[in-house]
Every structure is written in structure tokens, then in C-alpha cells.
Structure 1
Amino acid sequence: MPISAAMSFLVILTVALTTFATRVVPFLIFPKGKEIPAVIQYLGKVLTPAVIGMLVVYCLKATPVMKAPHGLPEAIAVAVTAGLHVWKRNNLLSIGAGTILYMVLIQAVF
């Protein structure tokens, strides 16, 4: 379903304003010098690992372990990703290398 240029502009504007608002609102709620509540500090510490864990489970939930290659490409890619992250502490490097390795494994090896 094609949409007009005006409608496209409105969609882009809405997305841009919403994205901007999500970036600005925390600075309005917690201005510089104001104490950040303990619950917000706690969520800041635990939410990132929880979301990453949830994404890992989501990505691996359909891994076929009962038929060949028995989840071997996934296991290798996850191990390399985790190893690189522990070694280098670089999210972009570990996720990028793990993704590229997984693609090479499923396209050329298995």
C-alpha cells in the first residue's frame, strides 16, 4: 500500500519526535544535582544483562538439537562471542565476530 509523501513525512516526524522524547525525558525527570532514586539505579545495573539474556534465549529457542548438526554452529558462535567479550570487553567486536562466524558456519561449513 503506497502512501503519500506527506504521510511519509508525518511518519518520519513522529518517529523522530518520539525518539527525541525518550532521550530527553530522563534529563527532565532527573536534572543534574538531583539524587537518582535507588530503584532507578538498581534497574540501570540489572536491566542490560537481563535484556541480553532474554535475547540469547530468544535467539537460541529454536535451535535443532535432535537433528544434525545438533546445534553445533550455534554453540561455536556463542562460545566465540562469549570468549571474545571476556577477552576484549568490546560489545561490537564480540557480537559482530560471533554473527559473522555463525553466518560462515551455516552457509559454508554445515
Structure 2
Amino acid sequence: MPVNAGLSFLIILVVALTTFCTRVVPFLVFPKGKKIPLVIEYLGKVLTPAVIGMLVVYCLKDTQVLTAPHGIPEGIAVLTVAVLHIWKRNNLLSIGAGTVLYMILIQTVF
């Protein structure tokens, strides 16, 4: 389906408004000075590691460990991400380097 300029503008506008609203709502619901409920504080602490864990499981779910290359490139990339993150505490560096290393390994080595 071809998309004309008007429809493209409308799509961009809706996406921008939706993004803006999702960014503003927490400030409206929890204004400065108002105590944040304990359940929200708890979710703020546990959701990030839970989401990262789910992404790791999703990324590794189709890894074939019984056939060559036996998950070796995935293992090397995961180990690289973990070591870099523990060492530098930089998400962009650790995930980026792990992704680049994985792509190099599967394209050239394995």
C-alpha cells in the first residue's frame, strides 16, 4: 500500500504524541514531593533485570548446542558482554561490543 505525504505526516504525529504522552504520564501521576507507592518502587527495581533476563533467554532460545558450532559464538559473545559490563558498567559498550563480536564470529570464524 503506497503511503502519501499526508498519511506519513499523520503516522509520525500519532507516534510522536503517543511517545510524548507515555513520557508525561508518570510526572502527572507521581508529582514531585508525592510519595511513590512501595509497589512502584519495587517494580522499578526488579523489572529492568527481569526484562534483560527475558531478552537473554529469547536471544539464546534457538541456539543449537548439539550441532556445530555448538553455541560457541553465542557463548563467547555472552561472556564478552558480561565481562565488559562488570568491568566498565556501560550498557552501550557491553551490548555493542558483544553484538559486533558475535557478528564477526558467525560471519568469518564459524
Unpaired segments of 5 or more residues in structure 1?
Answer: none
C-alpha deviation, 1:108, in angstroms:
0.6
Unpaired segments of 5 or more residues in structure 2?
Answer: none
Give the Cα separation in 1 of the matches to 2:46 and 2:38: 12
**Residue aligning to 2:100:** 100
**Residue aligning to 1:66:** 66
Give the Cα separation in 2 of the matches to 1:103 and 1:4: 37
Give the Cα separation in 2 of the matches to 1:11 and 1:85: 37
C-alpha deviation, 1:3, in angstroms:
1.4
Residues 52-104 of structure 1 deviation map (CA, whole Å, 9 limit, x = unaligned): 00000000000011110000000000001001101111101100100000000
Give the Cα separation in 2 of the matches to 1:92 and 1:4: 36
**Residue aligning to 2:20:** 20
**Residue aligning to 1:8:** 8
Q: Report the number of matched residues.
A: 110
**Residue aligning to 1:109:** 109
SS of match in other structure, 1:77: helix
Residues 23-74 of structure 1 deviation map (CA, whole Å, 9 limit, x = unaligned): 0000000000000000000000000000000000000000011110000000
C-alpha deviation, 1:4, in angstroms:
1.6
**Residue aligning to 2:29:** 29
**Residue aligning to 1:78:** 78
Deviating 4+ runs (over 2 angstroms): none
Q: Which amino acid aligns with 2:65?
A: V
Give the Cα separation in 1 of the matches to 2:3 and 2:72: 45
Give the Cα separation in 1 of the matches to 2:75 and 2:16: 38
**Residue aligning to 1:39:** 39
